[in-house]
Structure 1
Amino acid sequence: MTTLIEVDELAALLETPEPPVLLDVRWRLAGPPGIEDYRKGHLPGAVFVDLDRDLAAPPGPAGRHPLPDAEAFQRAMRAAGVSAGRPVVVYDDADSTAAARAWWVLRYFGHEQVRVLNGGYRAWTEAGRPVTDRTPTPEPGDFTARPGGLPMLDARGAAAVAERGVLLDARAAERYRGEVEPIDPVAGHIPGAVSAPTTANVGPDGRFLAPEELRERFTRLGVAPAAEVGAYCGSGVTAAHEVLALELAGFPAALYVGSWSNWVSDPANPVATGEN
């Protein structure tokens, strides 16, 4: 099973007797919550999952979007109809930023059959596929959350990867350089990290670049098959997108879930600015 799924394949699977569980993960860092978009229209059978509530624990020193507690995540996924033996497809508006977070957390907690709709809701509607405003009532799932399905970094681990491997900073380049910081209290980046904005992982239509293009991009940034690779962002959301893109390119990578918001919560952690 591949990590991505295209519109036509998903449409065909939704017509089968045992369709995948479909999760709508539309989310905005600022502006109206994703549930409002969901209520206006969503893929038939899709259940809304709230990134802030279901895919993260409350913000604090661990970061703005720390990893959810296993029991709480299990409860949320069961309520959405997620079961261990049933495939899951996640989608957001278009570029898979929020969907990648759902993909990563589900995989981290042990679900092995998770795919991301390439191009998201936009690709679905542009293909003329049907949408609905009806909210389904899914049968409760039996998913059991077991941590450790994907590699994860803490602050010390991220610093080690920056020193001996390749630590990618998924934020906008100006935030990496420390020229602006619209959210966190300190501007800059983890010393030794390499700027790699996630916006370069997708095309104008929000779909991921081809694997060979992603492989070429990450190779230019210093990633190699034998290298230890990690990724971080502001709060662990867009960095999951980076990890997904790296997987598409054939490079396994660890996610620093706490990311910059956790790093700067400890004044002892060093901060770098400017180009790498």
Structure 2
Amino acid sequence: MPILIQHDELFDRLTAERFAADRGTTASTRTVVLDVRWSLAEPDGTAAYWDGHIPGAVYVDLDRQLADHDVVGEGRHPLPSEAAFTEAMRSWGIREGDTVVVTDDLGNQSAARAWWLLRHAGVADVRMLDGALAAWRAAGHPLDTGWVSPEPGDATAHFGGMPVIDADAAAALPGGGVLFDARAAERYRGEVEPIDPRAGHIPGARSAPSAGSLDASGRFLPAEALRERFAALGAEPGIAVGAYCGSGVTAAHAVAALAIAGIDAALYPGSWSQWSREEGRPAATGADA
């Protein structure tokens, strides 16, 4: 299935589906749009969502619905359970067979968490809006205000659709494959650490900031450019690849960029927020892996 959808295609799909609904007929597609606005600086995206979102888009609370904070020892954003994620998907109105489009206002660096979890849960057709909301606005497409409360869906999460690694597997991966650190380069080098207890990176990991997979407008680089980027860092098809970040959010964006490049990659959900809290886990610093 495609990983991205362009703003004009999404607009045309939503227009056709709305026209069919107005006529009392069934459209050939059913598209659910999820608005996943979140950042470390502004984790609550509800105000921005209220002010303007893609018509029909449902707000997703990343901290509450894409993580389980009752889980202890697995980082700042532990994965939700199948049952909890099933409840979330149904609250967003997702039905079996739907196409789901996720977006944010950060070049998909937060929306990718929803993309990854939905793929992990077995939803076949999940796409990120390329260029995110900035591209939608720049194209002059409309925005709605207020809150969308959809009819409950019937989708059920069945985890296992995406590869996952734990801390031990992440530690071993550089020995025979490639482990990417998707955080900003200065955090990788250990020069700053704004949130976790120790600075540095997993020994052997290679720095590949998630923003480096985007162009100046916030769109993903073309597949060939992404292949060249990751090949220069040692990742090619057939080599075991994994990704981590601070807490498993932007690492999902790295997994998506690698997928666009034709490279399968595993996510380490606990990421640095788990690693840095475990006694005995070493921290490397500096620019070298």
Q: Output the TM-score relative to the length of structure 2.
A: 0.93
SS of residue matched to 1:26: coil
SS of residue matched to 2:34: strand
Match of 2:235 among 223, 245, 253: 223
Q: Is the 8 A contact 1:94 1:207 kept in 2?
A: no
Query: How far 1:37 sits from its partner (Å)?
Result: 0.4
Match of 1:41 among 52, 73, 89: 52
Query: How far 1:224 sits from its partner (Å)?
Result: 1.5
SS of residue matched to 1:81: coil
Write out per-residue CA displacement over residues 82-133 of structure 1, whole angstroms, 9 at most, x where no aligned residue: 1221110000014100111100011111111100000111111110001111
Q: Output the TM-score relative to the length of structure 1.
A: 0.97
* 4+ residue runs over 4 A deviation: none
Q: Is the 8 A contact 1:234 1:259 kept in 2?
A: yes
Match of 2:40 among 19, 29, 36: 29
Write out per-residue CA displacement over residues 116-166 of structure 1, whole angstroms, 9 at most, x where no aligned residue: 000111111110001111323311111111111100010011112122100
C-alpha RMSD of matched pairs (Å): 1.1
Q: Distance in 2 between matches of 1:48 and 1:31?
A: 15
Q: Is the 8 A contact 2:51 2:146 kept in 1?
A: no
Matched, 1:157 2:169: yes
Q: Tell me, which stretches of 5 or more residues in structure 2 are unaligned?
A: 17-26
The corresponding residue for 1:81 is: 93
The corresponding residue for 1:173 is: 185
Q: Is the 8 A contact 1:94 1:205 kept in 2?
A: no
Match of 1:131 among 143, 157, 165: 143
Q: Tell me, which stretches of 5 or more residues in structure 1 are unaligned?
A: none
Q: Distance in 1 between matches of 2:151 and 2:92?
A: 8
Q: Figure out how many residues of one structure are paired with residues of the other and give that number.
A: 276
Of residues 28-37 and 245-254 in structure 1, the stretch that sits farther from structure 2 once superposed is: 28-37
Q: Distance in 2 between matches of 1:32 and 1:271?
A: 27
Which runs of structure 2 are paired with 1:1-276 in the superposition (5 Å)?
1-16=1-16, 17=27, 18-31=29-42, 33-58=44-69, 60-276=72-288
SS of residue matched to 2:64: helix
Identical aligned residues as a percent: 57
Q: Distance in 2 between matches of 1:19 and 1:127?
A: 22
Q: Is the 8 A contact 2:179 2:204 kept in 1?
A: yes
SS of residue matched to 2:110: helix
Q: Distance in 1 between matches of 2:243 and 2:186?
A: 17
The corresponding residue for 2:22 is: none
SS of residue matched to 1:262: helix
SS of residue matched to 1:23: strand
SS of residue matched to 2:194: coil
Query: How far 1:211 sits from its partner (Å)?
Result: 0.5
Q: Is the 8 A contact 2:89 2:156 kept in 1?
A: no
SS of residue matched to 1:124: helix
SS of residue matched to 1:153: coil
Q: Distance in 2 between matches of 1:92 and 1:46?
A: 11
1:213 maps to a residue whose letter is A
Q: Is the 8 A contact 1:98 1:238 kept in 2?
A: yes
Q: Is the 8 A contact 1:44 1:130 kept in 2?
A: yes
Of residues 203-212 and 264-273 in structure 1, the stretch that sits farther from structure 2 once superposed is: 264-273
Q: Distance in 2 between matches of 1:237 and 1:246?
A: 15
2:144 maps to a residue whose letter is T
Query: How far 1:32 sits from its partner (Å)?
Result: 6.3
